[in-house]
């Protein structure tokens, strides 16, 4: 979904989450359910520091990438967190290749969405942005298939003054994730697809 319509398609992935976006390559976030204006930002806490949900001043460094080896839970979470950082703190299209192979459809989705954020002077974040569960489905040669459950979250777009431009509630969702490993051993996200209906609360 283009920003002109109110949201971008990434979560991060968080995407963020990255970050979907933070954001599926072939689907969009649910339609906007409300539009509000606010000027308050709420920090998110980690065990060692407090990081703002979004920034415009380049003060938030990129998260460390964990994208080698076979700990697919850690690898996916790292790629997702980096994608979310791109959307919320530094929508630099030159950095997409760190987490998505250049030339793929998913890369183009990221590129389009970050370009809109840059052009409009906006940032996008998911709160919370965590994946609830990550399962390895298949590992064949240099491809890994995962099934990921993302928690229910608020997807929020803000401007540089802190005003909420758009907001949508994203339900708990199940995604099929495909990753590929390059010749140097680095994993990247190839696609994120819906994998069934929203997961009910446990």
CA 135 to chain centre: 18
Of the candidates 167, 119, 131, 108, the residue with the CA atom closest to the CA atom of residue 12: 131
> What is the band of 50 on the pLDDT scale with cuts at 50, 70, 90?
confident
User: Is position 51 within any domain?
Assistant: yes
- Residue 199 in any domain: the answer is no
> For the whole model, what pTM was predicted?
0.77
Structural domains of the chain, count: 1
| Closest by CA position to 22, among listed 135, 138, 189, 164 | 189
pLDDT digits (tens, 9 = 90+) for 111-132: 999 999 999 999 999 999 889 9
For residue 194, tell me if it sits in a domain. no
- For 99, the domain range is 7-133+150-173
* pLDDT (mean) for 91-97: 97
User: Could you tell me how far CA 145 lies from the centroid of its own chain?
Assistant: 18
Give domain status of residue 189, yes or no: no
Q: Is residue 78 domain-resident? A: yes
Cβ–Cβ < 8 Å for 195, 172: no
Q: What is the pLDDT of residue 130?
A: 86
Note whether residue 190 is domain-resident: no
């Amino acid at each position: 979904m283009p920003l002109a319509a109110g949201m971008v398609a990434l979560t991060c992935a968080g995407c963020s989450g990255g970050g979907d976006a933070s954001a599926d390559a072939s689907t969009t976030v649910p339609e906007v359910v409300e539009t509000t204006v606010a000027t308050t930002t709420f920090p998110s806490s980690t065990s060692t520091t407090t990081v703002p949900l979004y920034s415009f001043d380049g003060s938030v460094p990129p998260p460390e990438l964990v994208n080698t080896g076979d700990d697919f839970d850690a690898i996916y979470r790292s790629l997702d967190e980096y994608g979310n950082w791109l959307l919320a703190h530094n929508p630099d299209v030159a950095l997409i290749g760190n987490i998505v192979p250049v030339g793929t459809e998913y890369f183009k989705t990221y590129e389009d969405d970050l370009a809109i954020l840059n052009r409009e002077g906006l940032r996008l974040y998911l709160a919370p942005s965590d994946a609830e569960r990550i399962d390895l489905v298949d590992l064949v040669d240099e491809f890994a298939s995962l099934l990921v459950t993302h928690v229910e979250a608020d997807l929020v777009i803000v401007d540089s003054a802190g005003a909420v431009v758009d907001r949508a509630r994203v339900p708990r969702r199940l995604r099929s994730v495909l990753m590929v490993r390059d010749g140097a051993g680095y994993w990247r996200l190839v696609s994120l697809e819906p994998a069934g209906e929203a997961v009910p609360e446990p």
